[in-house]
């Protein structure tokens, strides 16, 4: 008769374990700090004029303007909303490590915003507000700006300690999951690939490279924080899943809008695949979603491996 197997105890990782992960991201942020004012944009002005002149039929300049308007809107929105997360993380007692990371992340989001503000002014010579009014329509405006602002407002105001973790789980799923993992990383992936393949706008390519490196750490924080909150209260897994499901149509509409051009600058199908893959990766690493359920609950090693890859 086979010996009875001892059930594996699913003890939630301790707060101290998560603190170490958050502090590691903070340390990486310090080592990889950069200044948007130092990015060399001297060759981009002539490059931009050439794209306008030589590729009018393909509407490449219009598509790049639209991408830049989305990045500008997104980076401004995440800069203005993140302080709510730092306050909520403190009130929810996620630990000082989470607060250190969020302080570093807020500085980085401010720099990303500064980079696009500078780029639109110095290279395109356009007013960001006017460009955004024309180029950031319903779906991205909702998911990147309006809905993110709404959940951040609720985070700022939630003073019931019993309700705060659910709002924080929703907020982190929206900010680090939907906006950063699905939209920002997908957008930077597509934009970088389009420019690198053509050898265009080296200053913009360099800005994308530096921003993408930061965004990887931000998504890694989101994976750890979701795991941390769900370890404390497994019922929060449903909040995370529902948040992704609610915003998925606006994410896909934002990416698919580029298919409306006769000559899309980006590979729309590949980017939709990238966005959906980013969702699956995020959920699996957080130990949630169908992939994690099919293969057994994701463990700490899954989360750490994804975080390490993202934060490299
Ligand atoms: Fe950012
Ligand atoms: Fe970010």
Which two structure tokens, joined as six digits, stand for 199? 């050898």
8 in a structural domain: no
Distance 33 CA to ligand 1 centre (A): 13
Distance 214 CA to ligand 1 centre (A): 7
Distance 214 CA to ligand 2 centre (A): 7
23 in a structural domain: yes
Distance 158 CA to ligand 1 centre (A): 25
Ligand nearest to the CA of 73: 1
Average pLDDT, integer, range 121-132: 90
Q: Which residue has the higher pLDDT, 132 or 123?
A: 123
Residue 7 has pLDDT above 70, yes or no: no
CATH number at residue 52: 1.10.620.20
Distance 58 CA to ligand 2 centre (A): 31
Q: Which residue has the higher pLDDT, 283 or 5?
A: 283
Asked if 83 and 106 touch (Cβ cutoff 8 Å), the reply is: yes
Average pLDDT, integer, range 294-299: 49
Percent of the chain with pLDDT over 90: 76
Distance 54 CA to ligand 2 centre (A): 34
Rounded Cα gap, residues 95 and 99, in angstroms: 7
Distance 140 CA to ligand 1 centre (A): 15
Distance 264 CA to ligand 2 centre (A): 26
Average pLDDT, integer, range 143-169: 96
Ligand nearest to the CA of 76: 1
Distance 218 CA to ligand 2 centre (A): 5
Distance 182 CA to ligand 2 centre (A): 11
Least confident piece of the model among 14-18, 41-45, 56-60, 153-157 = 14-18
Residue 221 has pLDDT above 80, yes or no: yes
Distance 164 CA to ligand 2 centre (A): 22
Number of alpha carbons in the 13 Å side-chain half-sphere of residue 279: 24
The per-residue pLDDT of the chain, averaged, comes to: 90
Tally of domains in the chain? 1
> Using alpha carbons only, how large is the chain's radius of gyration in Å?
20
Residue 266 DSSP one-character state? S
Residue 11 has pLDDT above 50, yes or no: no
Q: Which residues have CB under 8 Å from 22's CB, separation 6+?
A: 94, 95, 97, 98, 100, 101, 221, 224
Average pLDDT, integer, range 54-73: 95
Ligand nearest to the CA of 180: 2
Average pLDDT, integer, range 9-25: 76
pLDDT of residue 289: 73
Average pLDDT, integer, range 89-113: 97
Coil/strand/helix, residue 272: helix
204 in a structural domain: yes
157 in a structural domain: yes
Segment (H or E) for 268? helix 268-285
Residue 222 has pLDDT above 90, yes or no: yes
Distance 269 CA to ligand 1 centre (A): 24
Residue 116's pLDDT band (cuts 50, 70, 90):
very high
Average pLDDT, integer, range 67-79: 95
Among 110, 84, 105, 305, which residue's Cα sits nearest to residue 218? 105
Residue 15's pLDDT band (cuts 50, 70, 90):
confident
Rounded Cα gap, residues 235 and 229, in angstroms: 10
pLDDT of residue 4: 56
Distance 128 CA to ligand 2 centre (A): 20
Residue 296 has pLDDT above 70, yes or no: no
Distance 172 CA to ligand 2 centre (A): 12
Rounded Cα gap, residues 3 and 266, in angstroms: 58
pLDDT of residue 287: 86
Ligand nearest to the CA of 71: 1
1 in a structural domain: no
pLDDT of residue 232: 93
Residue 9's pLDDT band (cuts 50, 70, 90):
very low
What digits encode the pLDDT tens for the residues 234-261? 999 999 999 999 999 999 999 998 889 9
Residue 59's pLDDT band (cuts 50, 70, 90):
very high
10 in a structural domain: no
3 in a structural domain: no
Asked if 244 and 175 touch (Cβ cutoff 8 Å), the reply is: no
pLDDT of residue 140: 86
Residue 129 has pLDDT above 70, yes or no: yes
6 in a structural domain: no
Distance 216 CA to ligand 2 centre (A): 8
Asked if 188 and 213 touch (Cβ cutoff 8 Å), the reply is: no
Ligand nearest to the CA of 104: 2
Ligand nearest to the CA of 217: 2
Residue 12's pLDDT band (cuts 50, 70, 90):
very low
Residue 133's pLDDT band (cuts 50, 70, 90):
confident
- Structural domain of residue 277, as residue ranges? 17-32+41-310
Residue 293 has pLDDT above 70, yes or no: no
Which two structure tokens, joined as six digits, stand for 118? 């500078």
């Amino acid at each position: 008769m086979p010996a009875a197997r001892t059930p594996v105890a699913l003890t939630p990782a301790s707060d101290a374990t998560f603190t170490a992960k958050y502090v590691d991201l903070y340390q990486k942020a310090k080592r990889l700090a950069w200044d948007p004012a130092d990015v060399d944009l001297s060759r981009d002005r002539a490059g931009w004029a050439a794209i306008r002149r030589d590729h009018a039929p393909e509407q490449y300049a219009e598509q790049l303007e639209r991408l830049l308007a989305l990045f500008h809107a997104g980076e401004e929105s995440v800069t203005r909303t993140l302080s709510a997360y730092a306050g909520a993380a403190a009130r929810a007692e996620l630990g000082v490590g989470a607060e250190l990371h969020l302080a570093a992340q807020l500085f980085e989001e401010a720099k990303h915003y500064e980079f696009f503000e500078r780029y639109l002014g110095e290279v395109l010579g356009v007013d960001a507000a006017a460009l955004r009014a024309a180029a950031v329509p319903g779906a991205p405006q909702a998911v990147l700006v309006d809905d993110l602002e709404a959940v951040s407002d609720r985070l700022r105001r939630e003073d019931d300690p019993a309700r705060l973790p659910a709002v924080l789980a929703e907020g982190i799923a929206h900010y680090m999951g939907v906006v950063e993992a699905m939209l920002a990383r997908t957008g930077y992936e597509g934009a970088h690939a389009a420019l690198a393949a053509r050898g265009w706008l080296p200053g913009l390519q360099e800005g994308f490279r530096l921003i993408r490196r930061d965004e990887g750490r931000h998504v890694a924080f989101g994976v750890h924080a979701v795991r941390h909150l769900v370890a404390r209260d497994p019922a929060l897994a449903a909040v995370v899943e529902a948040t992704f499901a609610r915003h998925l149509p606006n994410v896909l509409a934002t990416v698919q809008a580029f298919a409306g051009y006769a000559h899309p600058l980006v590979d729309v199908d590949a980017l939709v695949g990238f966005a959906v893959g980013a969702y699956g990766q995020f959920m699996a690493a957080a130990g949630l979603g169908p992939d994690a359920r099919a293969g057994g609950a994701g463990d700490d090693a899954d989360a750490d491996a994804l975080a390490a890859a993202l934060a490299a």
